Chain A
Amino acid sequence: MSDQAYDVVVVGSGAGGAMAAHTLTKLGKRVLMLEAGRDYDPVTETPMFNSPADAPLRGAPTPDKNFGYYDATVDGGWEVPGEPYTMADNTEFKWWRARMLGGRTNHWGRYSLRFSHHDFKGFSRDGFGADWPFEYDELAPWYDRTEELVGVCGTNTGLDDMPDSSPDILMPPPKPRVPELLVAAAAGKLGIPAAPMHRAILTRPKDDRAACFWATQCGRGCSIGAAFQTTTSLIPMAKATGLLTVQTDAMVRSVEVDAQGRAEAVTYIDRKTGAPRTVAAPVVVLAASACESARILLNSKSEQHPQGLANRSGQVGRNLMDSTGANMSAVIPALKGRPIYNEDGHTANHLFLPWWGHDMQARGELDFARGYHFEMSTGFKPPGGYYPEKLQGYGVEMKRRARFDYGSQISLALRGEMVPNADCYMEIDDAVTDRWGIPVAKFHWKWSEQELNQVRHGLATARDIFKLLGADVPDELPDPAEAIKKGGEIIHEVGTTRMGTSPKDSVTNQWGQAWDCDNLFVMDGGVFASNPHKNCTLTIMTLTMRNASWLAEQLNKGAIA
């Protein structure tokens, strides 16, 4: 192929890669997208109404399918066959990957909360980590455009942790359900607001995508396109421009540079043949996920970039963050035997509890720096594993009790912000390569007191909510170090190629452009300067739309040639 075949080579097809390809092709740029996994067609492959009874082991999680048989993830999960990663001593870190077109967007939770003005300036407020190189106001119009393109349901609340969208951007949220209303009332008594969750779920038809019909778990993927995933939206839309070429089974190993140290090509392994291939790349956009993009950079060593590409700051792989997580469950006696109705809704939170503690933090009343929110898991779910209390006896009496207990359990899931620390980072393991011969990532991880104190606060809050609901919960709290989920387990890893205002302590500028290599961009969660407690995907897409638009302008001006 000629050197002029593409204007930009994009690595990855998930939230960042597909948005980059969509934005660039809409602006007239020719894009080659390289995806490590196989091609994937949600329309034919998604098990929409298939029953657990039809799946092996009733759909139970196994080492082959970590989130259950019907989860959309292909050739992935906590382990990818033939593609290991390693951990330092005393480290537990879990790295979820998918090997499929659309990546993790095919099964994500679709929670889509904007970061707020608090979130972009945490360092200025408390001295931890780093500020983002811009204010909320800079991103606000891009959030509007992204929400409109993606399709997000929710409501403007006026709460300071939930910035409003412009009028008519959000689609109407579904009505709250009984257990959510119950938690909202108990939280309200504690001064904690409840709010409609924002989710990338259509409640009105859009483009070729149908509105949600309130059935089947979104983690299976969505053949009607109601639940956002790039394989039913951004990728086909970008293809329709005629300017996008998609190459699947292309496992990128490294970015090659010219004598000046500028990117000139991308080398990938053709997973079907195992052969390496090199494709010329006037501009490279890495959007392979925070840790995979950092791995590619660290594996792209050259005379010009001896520490790995774009790593003169030494920050590639550093500042690795996940969300904090902790779950607490209780049986609510008052919910036993309640009237049954169809409680599926869009199968995830209609209401949640956003962070309410900014004022307490400003007054110095909390022993941790950043916020968290609570998600809820409850309801009359498809029967199977939902017997909140131990069954007793046998026969019709045992069955009666199982029916009576149905829908009486509530789980509160804390999701919080961690601050970056020197103990949490990834590097390349020089001794281990994957089946393609590519050196693998090695993780280091340790929660700090910030996260443990935050989880302690959350455990106490959840206990107080459950007590107000009449649940029999112990006063004594679990040990936060035991309750907190493992690093990576919430699957919100970001920060490994962070953006900033100086080449000394950041990898890219505010546009995701590498300080050390002007035709190399990172457009995934790696560029996050902090990891606000809200899920990262909406902001990955928003930032990518903004930065890919800027990239197209630079190309038009000849500023990157």
Chain B
Amino acid sequence: MSHETPEPGITRRQSLKWLAAVTAAVTTPLITGCEATVIKAAKLAGNWPDLQLQPITAEGYGTDPTLNPPVQAPWPLTMTPHQRKLATAILDLMIPREGDFPSASEAGVVDLVDEWVSAPYPEQQETRPEILSALVWFDEESQRRTGQSFLATSAQQQRAILDDVAYEEAESKLQYAYISRVFDGLRSLAAIAYFSSPEGVKDMGYVGNVPIAGDYPGPSPEAMTHLDGVLNDLGLLDYAYQEPVSG
């Protein structure tokens, strides 16, 4: 093929990017040294819980699962009720209900995260301790700041913690270097899960994947007007594509 375009969704590249991001604290100018040393320092400064977990041993769906209709993930979900409650609170701060559009948990994002951390495949197994440790970190950070668990503390205090870890600047602060990277990965997973849910697709504004009889209609008049403006701004109007004279 040009087999260069695997299906949309959570691409392998995206997952790998996440893993790379978790170890990319090495690029922060704060400290130099080998990657392992930097990660160790960041974890220490950030009070990273670093959960040591038993590997998942469940079976995957195999190399010939039924595609139409798709199977349900065959592996059991493994998050505890407390982990799911914590995840719900954090994910709903990331993606709250917005008008008619649902919150993360209403759109099934918590279920996807549970399915993800419970999956037997290598990539998911690598991200599992990161996500589950992050949940513990939020609880412990809340205790350190307010003396209360994350779920018990006020919405204002919850947001104060997110404000410290949810922006790129956090990566340059040693105590937030590690959690901010994991938070970014969790946020990507949440956004992917939300925007690929039926409601999220509408929220994004995607209008495809519907059958059209006859020829493909092409760009809308508004889209073409916008394109002309862009070509003009970039000085490319003279090079606008001309259809070949068909032979």
Choice from B60, B62, B196 contacting A51 with Cβ under 8 Å: B196
* Contact B1 A535, beta carbon cutoff 8 Å: yes
B219 interface residue (CB < 8 Å to A)? yes
Task: Give the residue name and chain of the A residue nearest to B15 (CB).
Answer: A60
Task: Mark contacts of A470-502 with chain B using CB atoms, 8 A cut-off: 1 yes-contact digit, 0 otherwise.
Answer: 100000000000000000001100000000000
Binary CB contact string for chain A from 163 to 179 against chain B (1 if under 8 A, 0 otherwise)? 01001000010111110
Query: What 1/0 flags go to A32-66 for Cβ under 8 Å of B?
Result: 00000010000011111111111111111111111
User: In whole angstroms, what is the CA distance A104 to B208 when docked?
Assistant: 26
A interface footprint on B7-18 (CB within 8 Å = 1, 0 otherwise) = 111111011000
| A533→B8 CA distance, assembly (Å) | 26
- Say yes or no: A55-B70 contact (C-beta < 8 A), given A67-B3, A384-B192: yes
Are A340 and B244 in contact (CB-based, < 8 A)?
no
**When chains A and B are docked, how far (Å) is the Cα of A351 from the Cα of B242?**
12
A6 an interface residue at 8 Å Cβ cutoff? no
Q: How far is the CA of A51 from the CA of B70 in the complex (A)?
A: 9
Could you list 11 further interchain pairs (A-B, Cβ under 8 angstroms) beyond the known A58-B9, A385-B11?
A: A68-B6, A74-B64, A81-B63, A96-B3, A107-B1, A175-B218, A181-B219, A213-B211, A339-B222, A348-B5, A391-B187
Which residue of the partner chain A has the closest CB to B229?
A: A334
Task: Please tell me if the beta carbons of B93 and A395 are within 8 angstroms of each other in the complex.
Answer: yes
CB interface residues, B 98-135, toward A, < 8 Å: 98, 108, 112, 115-116, 119, 121-124
Task: Give A347 to B165 CA distance when docked, in angstroms.
Answer: 38
Task: Judge whether B65 and A215 touch: CB under 8 Å.
Answer: no
**B4 contacts A327, CB within 8 Å?**
yes
B231 A58 Cβ-Cβ under 8 A: no
Instruction: Enumerate chain B residues within 8 angstroms of A246, measured Cβ to Cβ.
Output: none
A413 within 8 A of B: yes
Query: What residue in chain A is nearest B59 (Cβ atoms)?
Result: A64
Q: CA A345 – CA B94 in complex, angstroms?
A: 33
Contacting residue for A65 out of B63, B208, B213, CB 8 A:
B63
Interface hub of A174, A178, A345, A346 (most chain B Cβ within 10 A): A178
Decide if B34 is an interface residue (CB 8 Å cutoff): no
CB of A172, distance to nearest CB on chain B (Å): 7
Contact of B220 among A51, A56, A339 (CB under 8 A): A339
Number of interface residues of B (CB under 8 A): 94
B72 contacts partner chain A, Cβ-Cβ < 8 Å: yes
Q: A53-B108, A181-B227 are contacts. A342–B208 as well, Cβ < 8 Å?
A: yes
Contact A406 B205 (CB under 8 A): yes
Residues of the A chain whose Cβ atoms lie less than 8 Å from the Cβ of B7: 52, 59, 61, 67-71, 217, 219-220
- Assembled-state Cα–Cα distance A375/B207 (Å): 24
Which of B35-43, B45-53, B233-241 is near enough to bind chain A?
B233-241
Partner of A403, one of B93, B94, B203, B211: B203
Which of B60, B198, B227, B247 is the one whose CB lies under 8 Å from A158? B247
Instruction: Note all chain A residues with C-beta closer than 8 A to B167.
Output: 392-393
Min C-beta distance of B188 to chain A, whole Å: 7
Residues A394 and B162 in contact in the complex (CB < 8 Å), given A45-B67, A215-B210, A406-B204: yes
Which residues of chain A come closer than 8 Å to B15, judged between CB atoms?
60
Confirm or deny: B33 has a beta carbon within 8 angstroms of a beta carbon on chain A.
no
Once A340-B205, A384-B195 are accepted as A-B contacts, the answer to whether A182 and B68 lie under 8 Å apart by CB is no
Partner of B4, one of A53, A64, A375: A375
Interface of A is mostly: loop
Residues of A near B198 (CB, < 8 A) are: 51, 53
Most B C-beta atoms less than 10 A away, residue of A53, A172, A470: A53
CA distance A196 to B108 in the complex (A): 41
* Contact B95–A399 (Cβ < 8 Å): yes
Contact B64 A214 (CB under 8 A): no
Residues of B near any A CB (own CB < 8 A): 1-12, 14-15, 60-73, 93-96, 98, 108, 112, 115-116, 119, 121-124, 162, 166-168, 184, 187-188, 191-193, 195-198, 200-201, 203-213, 215-220, 222-224, 226-227, 230-231, 233-234, 236-237, 239-241, 243-247
Choose among B116, B197, B212 the residue that contacts A53 (Cβ–Cβ < 8 A). Answer: B197
Question: B residues within 8 A CB of A403?
Answer: 203-205
Set of chain B residues within 8 Å of A393, measured between Cβ atoms: 166-167
For B210, the closest partner residue in chain A by CB is A215
**Residues 112-162 of A contacting B (Cβ, < 8 Å):** 155-158
Interface magnitude class on chain A: 35 or more
Interface assignment of A456: CB less than 8 Å from any CB of chain B: no
Q: Is A308 an interface residue (CB 8 A)?
A: no
A387 at the interface (CB under 8 A from B): yes
CB distance from B196 to the nearest CB of A (A): 4
Q: Does A402 contact B (CB under 8 A)?
A: yes
User: Cβ of A85 < 8 Å from any Cβ of B?
Assistant: no
* Neighbour of A175 across the interface among B213, B216, B240, B244, CB < 8 A: B216
Cα–Cα, bound, A69→B60 (Å): 12
Contact B246 A64 (CB under 8 A): no
Residues of chain B within 8 A (CB-CB) of A175 are 215-219
Q: Which of B64, B188, B215, B233 is packed against the most chain A CB atoms within 10 Å?
A: B64
The answer to whether A532 has its CB under 8 Å from any CB of chain B is: no
| A198 at interface, CB cutoff 8 A | no
> In the assembled complex, how far is the CB of residue A487 from the closest CB belonging to chain B, in whole angstroms?
14
- Contact A54–B69 (Cβ < 8 Å): yes
The 10 closest A-B pairs by CB, nearest first: A175-B218, A109-B1, A188-B239, A68-B7, A109-B2, A156-B247, A344-B208, A213-B211, A56-B73, A184-B241
| B241:A76 contact, CB within 8 angstroms | no
Centre residue among B167, B208, B230, B243 by max chain A CB count within 10 A: B208
Contacts of A398 in B (CB 8 A): 94-95, 166, 187, 191
**A111-B241 Cα distance, complex, nearest whole Å:** 21
The listed residue (A38, A67, A382, A391) touching B208 by CB distance below 8 A is A382
Taking the nearest CB of chain B, how far is it from the CB of A464, in angstroms? 13
Highest count of chain B CB atoms <10 Å: which of A174, A186, A344, A415 = A344
> Which residue in B200, B207, B215, B231 is a CB contact (below 8 Å) of A342?
B207
Q: Per a CB cutoff under 8 Å, which of A54, A59, A215, A383 touches B212? A: A215
Known contacts A53-B198, A62-B121; is-contact A385 B217 (Cβ 8 Å): no
State the Cβ distance, B238 to closest chain A Cβ, in Å.
Answer: 8
Q: How far is the CA of A174 from the CA of B215 in the complex (A)?
A: 7
A501 to B63, CA, bound (A): 43
B93 and A158 contacting across the interface, CB-CB below 8 Å? no
Residue of B nearest to A37 (CB): B64
How far, in whole Å, are A200 and B64 apart by their CA atoms in the complex?
26
B66 neighbours in A (Cβ, 8 Å): 45
A27, CB-defined interface residue at 8 Å:
no
Question: Are B1 and A111 interface neighbours, CB within 8 A?
Answer: yes
Complex Cα–Cα for A382 and B10 (A): 11
The chain A residue sitting closest to B94, CB to CB, is: A394
A-side contacts of B191, CB under 8 Å: 387, 391, 398-399, 402
* CB-contact partner of A174 in B10, B122, B123, B218, under 8 A: B218
Whether B94 and A395, one on each chain, are in contact in the complex, defined by CB atoms closer than 8 angstroms, is: yes
Known A185-B240, A343-B208; contact A176-B2, beta-carbon cutoff 8 A: no
Report how far A343 CA is from B205 CA in the complex, Å.
12
Kindly report which residue of chain B lies nearest to residue A393, judged by CB atoms. Answer: B166
Contact A57 B119 (CB under 8 A): yes
